[in-house]
Every structure is written in structure tokens, then in C-alpha cells.
Structure 1
């Protein structure tokens, strides 16, 4: 019978934790309000408040044991939020790279720009599709772009290590389809010349990219003439004239992709259907928001899995720390709890009071851990490792309010589990036995 009781308790615990994981902060506030209402209106709630007040008032006498819970949970939350901030920052950087009124066109079966190819005829037909915005001269606002990789020396490396940087050949319309790109130092490249502008992220990652520096791309000398900022993934790239990049890498007169300005966000439907229904084209079109969201999806999932796995491993240790601490705390208060039950206090108020004490310590630990993660890692500069022909991506870690809430939820969940079993034991222990143990 005892085994079935314990099994039921464990199953209930898993159900409650599953619900808690998906609970938004509004739901948590509602639960807190209902708990407060119960504690001030109902008799059993008032008993809970009395028992909890006594336990919380003695926390100052148990600073050492209480600190075990707070520090353990703060460590879990701090590490968890910091790791998840990598995924959040990476995803934000790529999502910021797109907009709803621009579209990217690639070869139909291509997963990314590097594996795509468009001919000159393809580019002409794409520019004539309905929904494409036009400038004052009536020309389609379309940037035919070539993406290649260049190995550059990593900044700060003492062993002359090199990594892959992404070089993008663009047309003059690139600044019209990406108005957030601004030259912050030097000037823009001139069409027809081997000149480059470098993103701020690439400048931080690689050596030899300051204005006036020369470098080799495709065995040809190029000059860095400017630095640009965009606040997105483009900052990790080097830009030059598409015709000159094609010539340096012997790419002919085609491109990897075409980025177009749409008349309005709703124009993507007519634009995409026109290209798909064109028998001479085998291309696919999507908004740049959708494109970059897909590009970030896999890496974001990997980073989240790593963060949650590490956090879960640390959480197990924190739970055991909380269990040991609360079992010890309950044992020292066995006589007090037994006396309360002897004079009419029921088991439920005792259980909830002990759990409130643990939850309060867990909340303090969660706030400390989340706060430290925000102060240390929010905005922290990081970069991905280059893979294959894809260059390194520079991004800033982002500790968002949602991540802080996730950290608080983990903290409260650890406190809930760590306090539940000691609380149940305190409430279910026979009064006579509790008095003898005390």
C-alpha cells in the first residue's frame, strides 16, 4: 500500500511539472493570487500561513543550510539562462536579418545560398515578376548576389589560425533591399573595382580588415575601403561588387541568389506564385524573414538542447541538496510540527507550509542566478564556428525576459521537488513518533 502511495505521489509530481513547464507567467500570477486568497480566507489556509510564518522566521537561524539551497539553485539558473542566451542571441541575429517586404529567390532544391545557382536569364525573369518594387527609373530593386568563402586569420590567435569568412558579392541595389546597412567608417565600394566593405562583426573576428588594408580573394588583391553596421547577420560578412567577385572566383555572370524589394508585404504571394508557375524557372521564393528563421532553426535547437541538458544535470544535484537540507530542517522542527498537529492542525497546512519555505528559498536563488546571468552575459559578443563553406557568424547573447522566466520556473520546480517529500514526511509522521524523534 505504501508503494502505491509513493508511486501515485511520483506520478502526480510528473504531471504537475509537465503543466508547470508550459505555464506562462500570467498563469503563475493567477496561481499565486489563488494561493494567497486561500491562505487568508479559509481555515486550512490560515493554518498554513501560521506554520509558514514560523518556519520562515527561523531561516535566519539556519543561514548555512538555507544558503545550500539558494546557491545551488542560483548556479543551475545562471548556467541554464546563460546557455539558452546563446540560442536566443543567435536566433535574434538571424531573424533581424530579414523583413516582410523583401524576398530571397534561390534554386528550387537549395537549402541555402551557397548550394544555389541562378543564371543571368533567371535573374532577368525574376526582375520582371509581379510584386517587385521599382525605383524612380522604373528598374526592379533586385540585388543579384554571389556568396563565397575566404580563409582569414582569426583575431587574437597566436598560432596564425584561420577561419572561414563569408564574402558576398552584391549589386548597387543591395543597399535598397537592406536599408539598415550603414557605412560607419570609410566609404562604400565602387562598382568595377576590387574593393570591399567589412561588417563590424567580421572586423571583430578577423585580423587585417581595417580600412586601407589589402588582402587576397581568388588570388587577386582587394582593398578594404569601409566598415558597415547592420545589427544583423550581415555584419559578419565582407561585401564587394558582384561582378568583381564572380570574376575573382570564376563564377560567370550568374549568382547564388537574388534578394528583391517587394511593393508591400502582401506581394510575396503573387511574386512567389508567378515564379513557381513559370516553366522556364526552377526557383523558390520566400520572405527574408522566413528564410533566416529556417536558417537559425537547427542551430537554435541544438543550443537549447545543450542548455537544457546541462541545466537538467545540475538540477538533479540541486534537488538532492534541497532534499537533504529540508529533511534536516523538518527533523529539527519535528517536535514543533507534532505539537501543531496535536492541537488540531491538519496535514495539508503542514505540507504546504514546508513547501512554501523551500519555494521561497528557490525563488531567491532563481532571481540571483537569473540576475547574474543578465548582468554578465546579456549583450556578450560571441561567434559560431565556421562549418564547410559557411562563414563564422558574430552575434550577441540575449538574456530576454522569457529566458529569465524560464530560469525562475526551473528554480521553483527544483524547490517544489526538493520540498515535497520532506513536507509529506513531516505531515504523515505519527505524532507520537515525531515527539520521540525530537
Structure 2
């Protein structure tokens, strides 16, 4: 065993030293692997960032009420009477002002994306100070809170990054209504930063919503209270709503971009086939170029296994180099990149691409698969190079 290891080491060194003779073909294999890894990581980072932006918005101690059958807030509704009934549900925490409940509105307005200068849907949320207090990580980055009963609003930091016309102090026109931006807020980078917030009662008046809302949030003692609230909803015929924790709702919404990760795997796999063809050509050329050297080693006692291992290591080394280059390119150009896409409520969600260690592992694994397949057949040929080749070349 030690003899095979020492022989394999010698062959590996010989292969590495001979790389300059095949420099451009070797670099082509590295480049092909790098492109595959970079593209795969870009798609995975996009899906990961979107999912993280959605899921980080949810809290386990917030009960989220929507009308039964509604897939998103935009499709839900809740009358004032139903809000009052929800306030009486068991498990909802109270303070000196009453139950910690936030009925909210969700209205679609237009914004102009900085990147394309095209209009896109963004959400204008109507809520009260109760609703603001229920958002974990809420901080005012600039300006002040909107004054209840006025046409003032505050802007999420994500909106400010991705859309034109929402700077502090600016007046915004939505149809025939004019609003003034009086504050910029952050919620730690989650989906709420993709929203505009204003007083719920003002939005009810301006958009002819009467006294109705769309969703209701309520602070609860623990996620276990959801079961008791569900029983209450089923026993009250005037309520046509379902409840879940806010974290469960956003976890479901966050999976809406999973197709992007699948698409990334499909595209990368197709590209990997092309990279594999080039890599196989590179490795077959490498074996042919070193046929005399391999045969000479065989003639002086080296085993065929050492030739096989040496060729495999060469292929895997080039693939790993390609994966590292691709991962570095993906990190430089995509990690933290701001983007926006359509979310579950048909409005834009601003998020950042997120490259994590597990994604890098997936990218390197893809490259190793390319390296293994591109190396195993040429390595088999190297192991079968006849010893007589050494003598033929010497004549």
C-alpha cells in the first residue's frame, strides 16, 4: 500500500509539472468549471436571499389572521365587527390599553425601479402604532414617525434602495392622492423594508375601504395558543378566518422563489455537460501527451494504479481550482447584491443575494462531479498504456 502511495505521489508531481505544456487546455477546463459554479451560486444565492428576507420577518409570538382560502394579504378581508371578535380570542395578550391587536390594510401603489426605470407594484400598508410595535427590529433610520390622521408615510429602507422618488421630505403622488415622506425605517433587512407605512384610517378614507381591513395581527403568549384560537374561530360563525403564526406564514411565502434554485440547478447541469465535454478532451490530451512518460514509469516498475490515481488527481485539481475561481467571482459580484422581485402579494420584495457556506459546498461539489467524470475515463486509459510504448518512442 505504501509503495502504491509513493508511486502515485511521484506520478502526481510529474503530471503537475507537465501542466505548462497543456496550459491553455488546462485553463479552459478551469474556466469551464468556474463558469458553471458561478452561475449555480448566483441562482442559489438569489433564492436563499429571498427566502431569508421573507422568513426573518415572522415572529412565533404573533398570531396572523387571514380570510380562509386567501393565499396572500391582498386577497384577504376583515370587517370591523370581525376585528372586534378576533380581539376576544383566547391567548391574546393585553396591556393597559387593551388587547395587543393590529388590524391592517394592504394597498398596491406604483413605484419606479432605479435599475430599469419601469413601474412596479409596491405595497402601501395601513396600520397603527400597535402594528409598528409588533415588528421586531423596527428602527427609524431618519426622520420621524407618521402622524395619525394625516397624509404622511414612512418608507422602508429597501424601497429607498431600489426605487426612485421616495427620499425623505419628498411628496409622492399615487393617483389623485399626495403623500409626504416623513421617515425612513429599517426592520433588520426583512420583507417589511419593502413597504410604505401610513395610518390605516387615512388609507380607509382615501381608498373607500369604509371600516374594513384585510389582515389582523395579535400578540400571543406562545405558539401553543394557536390551537385554542383555532377552536375559537371554528366555534364563531361570524368569523371566516384562519390563523397561523406570523413566522409560519412568511415561511410559506419565502418558498415562492424555490423555482429559482431549481432553475439554477437545471441551467448549471446543462452547462456542466458542456464543461464535461471540454474537460474530457483536456484529460485525454493530457494522457496522450504523457503516454511515453507513463509507459516508462510502468517499465521501471510503477503500477497501473499509480497512473490511474495520478490522472484522477490532475482532473480533480483542475476542477477544484475552477470551483474556487467560480466561488470567488460569485462572492465578489453577487453576495449582498440588492434586487427586487414579485412576491406572493403581487408586489415587489426587495432582498439581497445571500451566499452562505452551504451554497459554496454545493458549488464545489458540482465541480468535483465534473472533475471526477472527466478524469475517470482518461485515467482508465492511462492505466492501460502498454509498456512497449516506452521502447517504441525510444527508437
> 1:235-270 CA distances to partner (integer Å, 9 max, x unpaired)?
111111111112111112121111122213433333
The Cα shift of 1:110 comes to 0.7
The CA distance in 2 between the partners of 1:433 and 1:63, in whole Å, is: 25
* Aligned alpha-carbon RMSD (Å): 2.2
Note the C-alpha offset of 1:129. 1.5
Find the counterpart in structure 2 of residue 205 from structure 1: 162
Pairwise CA distance, 1:119:
1.5
Taking structure 1 as reference, are residues 118 and 341 closer, same or farther at Cα in structure 2, changes over 3 Å only? same
- The 2-side partners of 1:287 and 1:269 are apart by 11
* 1:310 maps to 2:267: yes
Distance in 1, matches of 2:144 and 2:364, equals 47
Give, in angstroms, the shift of residue 285 of structure 1.
1.1
Which residue is equivalent to 1:116? 76
SS of the aligned residue for 1:382 comes to strand
* Residue equivalent to 1:76: 36
Cα displacement string for residues 321-341 of structure 1 (whole angstroms, at most 9, x for unaligned residues): 111111111011112222333
Normalized per residue, which structure has more strand? 2
Q: Which runs of structure 2 are paired with 1:174-185 in the superposition (5 Å)?
A: 174-185=131-142
SS at match of 2:354: coil
Matched with 2:254 is 296
Q: Tell whether 2:312 aligns with 1:355.
A: yes
In the alignment, the residues of structure 2 paired with residue 353 and residue 273 of structure 1 have an alpha-carbon distance, to the nearest angstrom, of 67
- Residue 106 (str. 1) matches residue 63 (str. 2): no
Give the C-alpha shift of residue 99 in structure 1. 1.7
Counterpart CA distance in 2 for 1:193 and 1:68 is: 63
Contact 2:145 2:154 survives alignment (8 Å)? yes
Q: State the aligned residue count.
A: 393
- The Cα of 1:357 is off from its aligned counterpart by 1.1
- Could you tell me how far apart the structure 1 residues matched to 2:239 and 2:390 are? 82
Q: What is the alpha-carbon distance in structure 2 between the residues aligned to residue 317 and residue 255 of structure 1?
A: 54
Q: Does 1:131 align with 2:108?
A: no
- TM, length-normalised to structure 1: 0.84
Q: Deviations over 1:256-295 (max 9, x none)?
A: 1111222134333333343344333221111122111111
Q: How does 1:18-167 map to 2 (within 5 A)?
A: 42-135=2-95, 137=96, 139-155=98-114, 161-167=118-124
Please, which runs of 5 or more residues in structure 1 have no aligned partner? 1-40
Within 5 Å, which residues of 2 pair with 1:218-237?
A: 219-230=176-187, 231-237=189-195
Separation of aligned partners in 2, 1:270 and 1:44: 69
In the alignment, what sits opposite 1:421?
A: 377
Is residue 2:320 matched to residue 1:368? no
- Match for residue 209 of structure 2? 251
Q: If the length of structure 2 is used for normalisation, what is the TM-score? A: 0.92
Give the structure 2 partner of residue 275 of structure 1: 233
Which 10-residue stretch deviates more, 201-210 or 230-239? 201-210
Could you tell me how far 1:125 is from its partner in structure 2? Answer: 1.9
Contact 1:141–1:260 under 8 Å retained in 2: yes
Contact kept? 2:53, 2:191, Cα under 8 Å: yes
CA distance in 1, matches of 2:2, 2:367: 28
Are the counterparts in 2 of residues 217 and 248 from structure 1 also a CA contact under 8 Å?
Answer: no
Residues 1:254 and 1:350: Cα distance change in structure 2 (over 3 Å) = same
**Large movers: runs of 4+ above 4 Å:** 433-438
Deviations 1:7-29 (A, max 9, x none): xxxxxxxxxxxxxxxxxxxxxxx
| Offset of residue 93 of structure 1 | 0.7
